[in-house]
Chain A
Amino acid sequence: MSQRLVNWFKFASPASFYPLAGKMWPWFAAIGTVLAAAGLWISFFVAPTDFQQGEGYRIIFIHVPASWMSMFIYCVMAFWAAIGITFNTRLSGMMSSALAPTGALFAFLSLWTGALWGKPMWGAWWVWDARLTSELILFFLYIGYIALTAAIDDPRRADKAGAIISLVGVVNVPIIYFSVKWWNTLHQGASVSLTKAPSMAATMLWGMLIMALAFWMYSIAIALYRVRAIILERERHTAWVAELPEMQR
């Protein structure tokens, strides 16, 4: 048991995680590509035309997985934040920083595809429904994290501050979602809900799941790649970086 604990903590050091990440990301990229191909196949060629929404509904195969991922990544960021604060590990903060841009990107894509879905269906580029509005706020939370960590020069302080804001954020996300739902049901005016996806044929559900998994694999691959860059940037002046094979002329 203690042997396994030791093994885990070994990878908490940037020096040992760097090569590990280097070996891992191609696998995630490959799996992600295969899943994306399968997902796209289902999205376009297997899922039938919807009776009410025609072909336009196919956007959900991007919109819903992107929303899921943006939420999921935020939770993972908060998880690493908690780990970093508890164990005072440098790598946790680096991991959070590596994940944030991807999470923000998925939040943006969720909003973008939501708008493109809403326009033909309900005639407006933006509807203030609970899901989209919460997603917008989540996007702001991501931007806040990125801005805060970018504004602080000392990387350790930046990591810790980012950890606090992401933990505060993750606690607030359910509160925000609840309050936005509450607000939305009371202002029934613009009550068209983008969550009223066509009654889920099994194929549609599968398509969304597979696309979500594809996005997940992509996120892991990109985060691992990015964290390698972050590790090099932060650990510039260490001996192990100087000994790296790619640094030898």
Chain B
Amino acid sequence: MNWGSAGEFFAMGGYGLYVWGSFGVTAAALLIEVVLVRQRFSAVRRSLRRELAADRDTQD
């Protein structure tokens, strides 16, 4: 174990800003990418469903 306390962990020996700035932005970026991809997929699925439902309705 490197850290005596949670405080030490967050301070990262004075480099906290840089270390957490890196890990934090990375985590945020990957999260945002996941969210965006899921949005893209649901958007196309939604619009396709609507299209196909409309087609089906006009066929009846």
Contact = CB atoms under 8 A, between A and B. Distances in A.
Q: Do A and B come from one complex?
A: yes
Interface of A: 44-45, 47-49, 54-56, 58-59, 62-63, 66, 101-102, 105, 108-109, 112-113, 116-117, 119-120, 218, 222, 225-226, 228-229, 232-233, 236, 241-242, 246-247, 249
Nearest to A249: B53
A229 B49 contact: no
Top 8 closest A-B pairs, CB basis?
A: A56-B15, A55-B13, A55-B12, A229-B41, A113-B22, A116-B18, A54-B13, A59-B22
Interface residues of B, number: 32
Contacts of B18: 56, 59, 116-117, 119-120
A71 B3 CA distance: 34
Contacts, number: 91
A54 B2 contact: no
A229 B43 CA distance: 9
Query: Which of B22, B25, B40, B44 has the most chain A CB atoms inside 10 A of its CB?
Result: B22
Q: Interface residues of A: mostly helix, strand, loop or mixed?
A: helix
Nearest to A225: B37
A113 B22 CA distance: 5
